[in-house]
Amino acid sequence: MVSDTEQVSTTADTTPVARGLKRQVIGLWVVVLCFIAVGIARSIQVGIPFRDPGGDYLRGRIAETVGFFIALVLVDGLLRTRGRRAPRAVLTTIRQRWTPKRIGLAWVALIAYHLTYFTYHNLKSWDVFLTNRDKMLLSWDKALFFGHSPAVLLHDLFGEHLAAHVFMVWYETFPVIVLVAFPAAIVLPRRLRDGYADIASFAWIWILGTITYYAIPSLGPFEVAPKEFAGLPHSMIQTTQAAYLAQRNFLLAHPHSPHGWAQISAFASLHVGVTTVIFGLAVRHRLRIPSILLGVFLVGTMLATVYLGWHFAVDIPAGLVIGALSLWLGPRTVGVRRRITGERATDRRGRLESPPAST
């Protein structure tokens, strides 16, 4: 009979996981600290401190990540345990792979991500003080579609009833996917340095998104051309859009109120940009089924953002571009340029295979 110990995967990371990771840690944190410095400079310029309303953008997010991290470590241990996956065998795999040093390094990356995300949201809030360019973006859309509104064309194509509810659910699925995707990016790769490259790509998409927000400030077609969306049934989308505009108006009227906060910008579409990053990471790790599903989700997201009035059509290619650029910058930021070849990420049934351990 084979013992539980003998059934444990040989992927356990017995080498010091910190070896060779100094460049990855420094590379990631240099970028993050520079972005935070930009945020501090903008905070001083507008005279508004960093805020975390209700803990929704830093404290609460970190707490959520702790839960997802634990769940993903359990999934990782289950997938990496060969033979009969008895609880003791899975726990042994987890103990061998997830040493205190590895956990610490993983959280160094996750904290870097959270600080980037927190800074992004504060900078996004403060771009309300810039002049909107919605009419310019609307004119670009009309020029590209020969005088027609791309949103109205989608309404005519899909209808304005059942499709509106489908696109609403599709659009609102995005936050859940992101909450799972970025901790998975550091937990599931065999080599921790590949996880750092993935987290760096996530950091870059928020940074590049902030740059596009400031380059072309905008609110979205639902605000500049509301008649185009008057035929859609009322749902949480319209409620959220109205709430975002009210938040923005309050911040403009009371910039120094501790409750002043805004979270609306259109160019570029970060729903598209972030989904592009997640899709690209699945492709990078050669996860065939997730790549297909995320590719479909990306296409649906591009349609939903325009259909519902959150984004102009020109926001979509802009989101694709910054997503692709983030995927390119991530590995180079942390010095991981070699294609992932050692993992053989999954077998045909999607189970993790077991090459030699590495950092």
Residues 222-268 pLDDT 10s: 999 999 999 999 999 999 999 999 999 999 999 999 999 999 999 99
pLDDT at 19: 53
How confident is the model over 123-137, as pLDDT tens digits? 999 999 999 999 999
pLDDT at 43: 97
Query: Based on the structure, what is the number of domains in the chain?
Result: 1
pLDDT at res. 338: 64
Of the pLDDT bands very low, low, confident and very high (cuts 50, 70, 90), residue 340 is low
Rounded mean pLDDT of 65-81? 94
Alpha-carbon span 332 to 326, nearest angstrom: 10
Whether 341 is covered by a domain: the verdict is no
Instruction: Specify the higher pLDDT residue, 111 or 22.
Output: 111
The whole domain housing 189 covers 4-333
Residue 345 lies in a domain: no
Residue pLDDT, tens place only, 9-50: 434 443 444 556 889 999 999 999 999 999 999 999 999 999
Q: How confident is the model at residue 85 (pLDDT cuts 50, 70, 90)?
A: confident
| 340 lies in some domain | no
| Backbone phi, psi, residue 346, to 5° | -140, 160
Is residue 250 one of the residues assigned to a domain? yes
- Torsion angle of C-alpha atoms 238, 242, 248, 254, degrees rounded to 10: -160
Closest CA to 301 of 169, 153, 160, 134: 169
Domain for residue 313, yes or no?
Answer: yes
